[in-house]
Each structure stands twice: as structure tokens, then as C-alpha cells.
Amino acid sequence: MEMVDIDGVSTRVWKNALPTLAAMAEHARGHGDSEFLIFADERVTYANWYRAVAALAVELQNIGVTKGDRVSLAMRNLPEWPVIFFAAASIGAIVVPLNAWWTDQELVFGLANSGASVLLCDAERWDRISPHRADLPDLHHVIVARSSGAMAEPARALEVSIGKPNDYGSLPDQDLPAVELAPDDPATIFYTSGTTGQPKGALGSHRNLTTNAISVGYSGAAAALRRGHEVPEPTVRVGLTVVPMFHCTACSAIMMPTVQGGHKMVFLHKWDTVKAMEIIEREKVNATGGVPFIAWQLIEHPERDQYDLSSIDAISYGGAPSAPELARKIYEVFGALPGNGWGMTETMATVTSHSAEDYLNRPTSCGPPVAAADLKVMSEDGADEMPIGGVGELWARGPMVVKGYWNRPDATAETFVNGWVRTGDLARLDDEGFCYVVDRAKDMIIRGGENIYSSEVENVLYDHPAVMDAALVGIEHKTLGEEPAAIVHLVQGQTATEAELQEWVQARLANFKVPVKVLFSTDSLPRNANGKILKRDLKSLF
């Protein structure tokens, strides 16, 4: 490691991390005919992926994309996703991955807020966005993958530029366009919701992403050494990637080390436990996971013994609370080593890494910080550092911390302090530096890795004419971690049913944000002296 200046802050970084995503693409080109992307009957080698990246990068330049322009990406996990991501980032554009589960209004917000001039998406996302074309004056080019019919201007087919994934090998073998890039140049905007309404765009750098490639490899080597083994020789590993690529968990913590090491990514159209087990058997998958839900589904499926899952040696996850028994179950059922970690959109995923025996021995911890990161626990006012074992707000710093929020200087100043990010999580550190997240200060529910911000759902409920008071809480769920549930107090003389309020929310927000239960309170909801609803008192009602 070495110290470098990042936006005026002296920061400890990985000395040998690749400097930019363009450099990462060039490095990956060297993996040649090794397979990179597998989806159904589509198989793409690193060499052919690079051909598609270079061809699309040239095409983006030809339509006027220059350094700093926002290029939005909205699609399912498909082989086209990593092509688009690296093509845009390699020419200095800022890639804006949008949540493919979002509603049309949410997608339009992301496009408008980022000022994206180009959108690359799949047909399903374009069907949602196209009726709102008039609300997106900055959007000049739309390139759609896997469309089955004719499209109206400005949309056109991605296949015209680069063909279908199995045909990438017929593209010209050309270099990426030469663009001057620096490690701390902006590279991405990933949207994260805040507790006060509209999502905020976390502005990430090239260094943020390439850092994870080294951090993940380091953690694997450290686990071997702590066991008393030598660092293992590099081998190609196969990962079943079920986390959506629009999350920094998949894009940064999974794709970056995959590309660095020349490993394979296998995609599913959508999660299906039987199909996943078929793929694990057929492709000899070594690792999967992403969120606890996936691990539980594999462990508890009644047909699990009908498939050869012996190739699995690691199941890792993060992004949602998990029961301590899950780590033990993974080890008992698969003989695989469990892993988890902690991070957030503002840290481009990985800050802590927890795996193998360390995880089995400390199943309620999310691990120690990776070597290039630091953690501290601060008092609520941010003035004093808490002693070891003391609970306070978790602060993190390192080369993975993003540059701030897109066009939100107020929120940036509140959250980012001299290289540190105030996470909003309540945590403690033990005497060996292992972190234990005990609660979330931010009013947020995490359902199977998807963030649900209570205020967003509450605001929709408040808009219903019969609702006087509303609160959203997280109730425990064995596989998803938690699910949203609502308590409402109705306007006197008005009526509403659970189903009616669920349909009301479903019409306005993504499905995963809809309360699974709605309880009705005959009294106003309990509040503290500051007027804040006492949600811990409400959870017991469920």
C-alpha cells in the first residue's frame, strides 16, 4: 500500500490496483479465450467481450459521448451489461446503472437527475421509459438490447452496433479508443435512497471500483494464512451471479475481482432455485450467494439432494441481516465456507470482509475492515470516538469511499467528512477490530438486499385520503432478512382495508416496497418528545 492525495485527503490505497476501468479492460483482454460470461446458451470469452467493448466504445464516441457525459444503463443481468459498462467507462463517460426493478417514474427520475444523454437498456426497461420521453429533454440517444420489434426514434437496436453475444467474435480486433483518464476521475453514479425522500446519486471513481479487485483477493489470501495454509495458487473460478448488476455489490465486489482474475460469471434470467441447482451442477459453480435469501433457498429446497452441488466451496452474502445459524448451516450442508461483509453504495460495496473460520467463530460480526480501509465508532454528534465495545455511529474511510453525492453539496457535506463517510449504521468494534453492526440509525429496511426507505413508502400511504398517520417497520423474515410492514391510523369516519392500501402502494412504487402486512391502530401512533414515531414500540405489534 501507499499514501496518495485524493481530493485533498491523504489516503492509503493499494499500490498495485489497476488505475482505471480502461486499464482493467485491457488487462482482461489478456485472459484471451477463457470464458467470461455465460447466460443460457450464450457463452462469451474475454477476447470476444473485449471486441464488443471496443466496438461499442467507438460507437459511443461517434454519437458524441465525451468524458464526463452520463451514459445510463438499465437492464437485467445479461452479457450485454458488462460490455456496456466497460465501453462507456473506458472512454471517460460516467456510467449510471439504474435499478431494473424500479417503476417507470423511478427510472425517469434517475435519468433526469443524472442528466443522462444516452440510455442503453433492454426492451422491458424501454417499454417503461418510452411513454415518458417528453420528460427527458437531455436524453438524445437510446440503444435497446433484445428488442423483438421496430422501435420509434430515438431508439435503435444495440445488435446493429455489436451483434448478439455469441457473435462478438466476428467483430474487429481493435484497441479501445485512447482517452486520458486518472484513477480519481468520476466513473459511476449509483443511486441510493435517503431517509428524506428522493434517491441520491453516489458519484464513484475508477479507483473506487478497481480497489475491490485487490481487496477481495487480499481477503481470500488472508483467510488461508489465518488457517495456517499457504496462499493458494490462482485458479479459474466459476461464480453464479444472482445479485443484480445494478447494485455495487455485483458490479464492484463481484465483477471487479472476476475480471481481474479471469474468472467466469454465470447469469440467471431471474432467481429460480431448481434452475440455479441445474446450473451449479452443469457449470461446476464454485461460489454463489449475494444475499442470505439465496443461501437459505439452496439449503432448504426439498430437491437439493437430486443435484451434484459438490463444486460449491463458498457461499457469501451481504446487504441484508442474516441469522447466525446460516453460517453454520452452509458449512454443515455444503461443506462450504461461508462469507459475508459490510459496505454501502457510498463505499462502492466492500469495506469489511468476513469469511471461513473467522465467520464461523464470530457469526454476528461482519468482519474486520479490509487492509486499505479504516473504521471508527463515533458518538451521535460526531465529536468523540467511542471506546472499544462502545456502540455509536460507524464511520469508514479508504479508497473505496465515493466522491460524494451527484449535485447534492448539502447532503455531501453532511455525510462525507475529511475522507470519512458517516454510514448511519450503529455498530461496535471488538479488541481485534471485528465490526458488529447492531442497528441502523437510518430509517431503512433491507429486504433480500434491496433497500426500502420507510419515508418513501410512508409518504405514499399519507397520500391516501383515508390515512391520517403511517409508519413502516421491518419485520423479521427467515430468508429475506426482513420485510416491510405498515401501521396506519385512519382519518375519523374514513375506511380502508389492508388490500386497498397495498394496491395503493403497488401502483406507485416497486413491488418489493409494498407492505406485506398492514395493521390498523385506533389511536395516533406513539411519538417521542421531538415528534418522531417510536417504531421500536410498533414492531411488537407484529
DSSP codes of every residue in 408-443: -HHHHHHHEETTEEEEEEEEEE-TT--EEEEEESS-
Q: What is the pLDDT of residues 125-178, one digit of tens each?
A: 999 999 999 999 999 999 999 998 888 788 999 999 999 999 999 999 999 999
Average pLDDT over residues 46-68: 98
470 or 267: whose pLDDT is higher? 267
Q: Rounded distance, CA 331 to CA 219, Å? A: 19
Q: Rounded distance, CA 296 to CA 466, Å? A: 39
How remote is the C-alpha of 4 from its chain's centroid?
27
Question: DSSP letter string over 70-134?
Answer: EEEEE--S-THHHHHHHHHHHTT-EEEE--TTS-HHHHHHHHHHHT-SEEEEEHHHHHHHGGGGG
Q: Is the dihedral of CA 127, 131, 134, 135 positive or negative?
A: negative
Average pLDDT over residues 241-247: 92
Place of cell 475481482: 257
Assign a CATH topology to domain 20-181.
Rossmann fold (3.40.50)
Specify the range with the lowest mean pLDDT, choosing from 8-12, 269-273, 405-409, 497-501: 269-273
pLDDT at 149: 83
Label residue 319 by pLDDT band (50, 70, 90): low
3-state secondary structure of 61: helix
Q: Which residues sit opposite 377 in a β-bridge?
A: 394
pLDDT at 531: 54
Q: What is the pLDDT of residues 330-355, one digit of tens each?
A: 889 999 888 889 999 999 989 999 98
The backbone region for 182, taken as left when phi is positive above 0, alpha when psi lies in -120 to 50, beta otherwise, is: beta
Q: How many CB atoms lie within 10 A of CB 46?
A: 22
Best-predicted range by mean pLDDT among 41-45, 98-102, 463-467?
41-45
Interhelix angle 46-62/21-29, rounded to 10 degrees, is 140
Query: What contacts 25, CB < 8 A, 6 or more positions away?
Result: 50, 53, 86, 90, 176, 259
> Per-residue b/e over 237-252, b at no fewer than 16 CB within 10 Å?
bbbbbbbbbbbbbbbb
Per-residue pLDDT at 324 exceeds 80 = no
Per-residue pLDDT at 196 exceeds 90 = no
CATH of region 445-539, choose from 3.30.70.2860, 3.60.15.10, 3.40.50.620, 3.30.300.30: 3.30.300.30
Q: Is the peptide bond before 154 cis (omega within 30 degrees of 0)?
A: yes
pLDDT at 195: 43
Q: Rounded distance, CA 438 to CA 416, Å? A: 22
CA distances from 542 to 472, 473, 519, 520, 537 (A): 12, 10, 8, 11, 11
Nearest to 291 by CA among 264, 318, 329, 326: 318
pLDDT at 529: 47
Per-residue pLDDT at 99 exceeds 50 = yes
Q: Do domains 20-181 and 445-539 have the same CATH topology?
A: no
Specify the range with the lowest mean pLDDT, choosing from 51-55, 202-206, 305-309, 364-368: 364-368
Q: Is 540 exposed, middle or buried (0-12, 13-18, 19+ CB in 10 A)?
A: exposed
Per-residue pLDDT at 484 exceeds 80 = yes
296: its cell numbers: 437459505
pLDDT at 295: 84
525: its cell numbers: 401512533
**Residue-range domain boundaries for the chain:** 20-181, 205-440, 445-539
Q: What is the pLDDT of residues 461-479, one digit of tens each?
A: 988 989 888 899 999 898 8
pLDDT at 151: 85
Per-residue pLDDT at 540 exceeds 90 = no
pLDDT at 318: 74
Beta strands 35-39 and 264-267 are: parallel
Average pLDDT over residues 420-431: 93
Please determine, looking at this structure, whether the domain spanning 205-440 carries the CATH number 2.120.10.30. Answer: no
